[in-house]
Amino acid sequence: MQVDRRGNGERMSSDEQQEGSAALRSDGVSGEAKDDQGAETERLSKRQRKRLLRHQQWEEQREQRKQKRKERKQKRREEYQNQGDGMVESTARKRQHLEPKPSSLRLVVDCSFDSLMVLKDVRKLHKQIQRCYSENRRAQHPVQFYLTSHGGHLKENMNQKDKGWVNWKDIHIKSEHFHQILNKEELVYLTSDSPNVLKELDESKAYVIGGLVDHNHHKGITFQQAQELGIDHAQLPLGDFVKMNSRKVLAVNHVFEIILAYLEKQDWQEAFFTVLPQRKGATPVGQEELSSGQPKGEQEDDSDEDPESVGAATHEDSNILDQQRKNQEEPEPPAYQLEACSAEWTAA
């Protein structure tokens, strides 16, 4: 019989016995846990113990960091309130200025020249169209973008290289020709062969850009098409503001970006020099003398291709020339002639 040593010798109840045994078990377990933890700490290296200590300190300071964040947030809120309504109005004006304002002007890329291009040029046209789309999405005054006569090799290449084109937004992709979906009176074909110079943009018009990468193999074809369709045509006022060392033929995306830049800046010269690449050697009209000191090779650059493709073509051409030079050299003498010559030399 168990007797309570503190009391009068009465028998302990079953509840008291269970509490006492539970306390003994908990003390044993906690002691074992402490021993295990201490042993584990002793097994850690010095670097690991430091890392563990930093982690413990980080956890202990969690509430302090939370309180500091609340204090900083409250301080910023009070500063904004003290600045008054002036700051709020300026922020509102800034947001209003940055919001894009779509233009009613329509820009059309005519892709009806698919049969005149090799696959390499079709891929270049695809990249130029991608650039037009991305620039229009980021523009301050985005235009109504049309892609007409879409099909053939261009569509096949887009399906293979850029399947996401079917999800493009703010663009009208049509398989029909542009004169079938737009009014004839509103069309203006932009071509460098036109005698008409475009002085300003009419946002009620639809300006057509020839989607052709031909390296000047089909001169005047866009001007000829405009005449056959009986629609207006014009060229950008490039010669009035820019002196170029290369041809005035620009890539599709260059013409597209110049139009976007003019809509934003309302200045042709600023729009030209914002977009034109340096390899075109463009200088403002009247300042040609300042650029006369450039190397001759830079002034005579007459290529609208990408620098990588131009470099590759130049390297290939040099290999062909080297091979031609080797073929023109005299053939090596046969082996028996060499042996005879060596024998004569030895006899001599």
pLDDT tens-digit profile, the chain (348 residues): 444 444 444 444 555 555 555 554 545 545 555 555 556 666 788 888 889 999 999 999 989 999 999 999 998 888 888 776 555 555 555 555 568 899 999 999 999 999 999 999 999 999 999 999 999 999 999 999 999 999 999 999 999 988 899 999 999 999 999 999 999 999 999 998 999 999 999 999 999 999 999 877 888 899 999 999 999 999 999 888 888 776 667 899 999 999 999 999 999 999 998 898 777 677 887 765 554 444 444 333 334 444 333 333 334 444 444 554 544 444 444 444 434 334 443 443
Q: Give CA–CA dist 113/154, Å, rounded.
A: 10
Helix (H) / strand (E) element for 283: namely: strand 283-284
Retrieve residue 179's tokens: 């004169």
Q: Give CA–CA dist 337/347, Å, rounded.
A: 15
Owning domain of residue 217: 106-307
Retrieve residue 204's tokens: 């009620």
Domain-embedded: residue 6: no
Domain-embedded: residue 138: yes
Please say whether the beta carbons of 185 and 175 come within 8 A: no
φ, ψ at 233 (rounded to 5°):
-145, 155
Q: Give CA–CA dist 145/206, Å, rounded.
A: 10
Amino acid at 214: D
Distances (CA, A) of 304 to 114, 144, 219, 245: 19, 26, 15, 12
CB atoms within 10 A of CB 180: 10
Q: Give CA–CA dist 268/200, Å, rounded.
A: 9
What stretches of 58-123 adopt beta strand conformation (E)?
106-110
Reduced to 3 states (helix: H, G, I; strand: E, B; else coil), residue 107 is strand
Domain-embedded: residue 91: no
Q: Give CA–CA dist 58/193, Å, rounded.
A: 73
Q: What string of DSSP letters covers 59-71?
A: HHTHHHHHHHHHH
Q: Give CA–CA dist 282/288, Å, rounded.
A: 9
**Confidence at residue 37, expressed as pLDDT on a 0 to 100 scale:** 58
Active site residue 202: no
Please say whether the beta carbons of 209 and 105 come within 8 A: no
- Which residue in this structure is represented by tokens 């200590």? 53
Per-residue pLDDT tens over the stretch 126-160: 999 999 999 999 999 999 999 999 999 999 999 99
Domain-embedded: residue 250: yes
Domain-embedded: residue 69: no
Q: Give the CATH number, domain containing residue 181.
A: 3.40.1280.30
Q: Give CA–CA dist 76/61, Å, rounded.
A: 23
Amino acid at 60: E
**Confidence at residue 232, expressed as pLDDT on a 0 to 100 scale:** 95
Reduced to 3 states (helix: H, G, I; strand: E, B; else coil), residue 99 is coil
Helix (H) / strand (E) element for 188: namely: strand 187-190
> Going by C-beta distance under 8 Å and a sequence separation of 6 or more, which residues neighbour residue 260?
135, 136, 139, 141, 142, 143
Q: Give CA–CA dist 276/249, Å, rounded.
A: 11
Count of domains forming the chain = 1
Domain-embedded: residue 200: yes
**Confidence at residue 133, expressed as pLDDT on a 0 to 100 scale:** 95
Amino acid at 254: H
Per-residue pLDDT tens over the stretch 317-327: 444 445 545 44
Domain-embedded: residue 278: yes
Per annotation, catalytic residue among 214, 301, 302, 306:
214
**Confidence at residue 298, expressed as pLDDT on a 0 to 100 scale:** 38
Reduced to 3 states (helix: H, G, I; strand: E, B; else coil), residue 79 is helix
CA contacts within 13 A on the Cβ side of 64: 5
Domain-embedded: residue 21: no
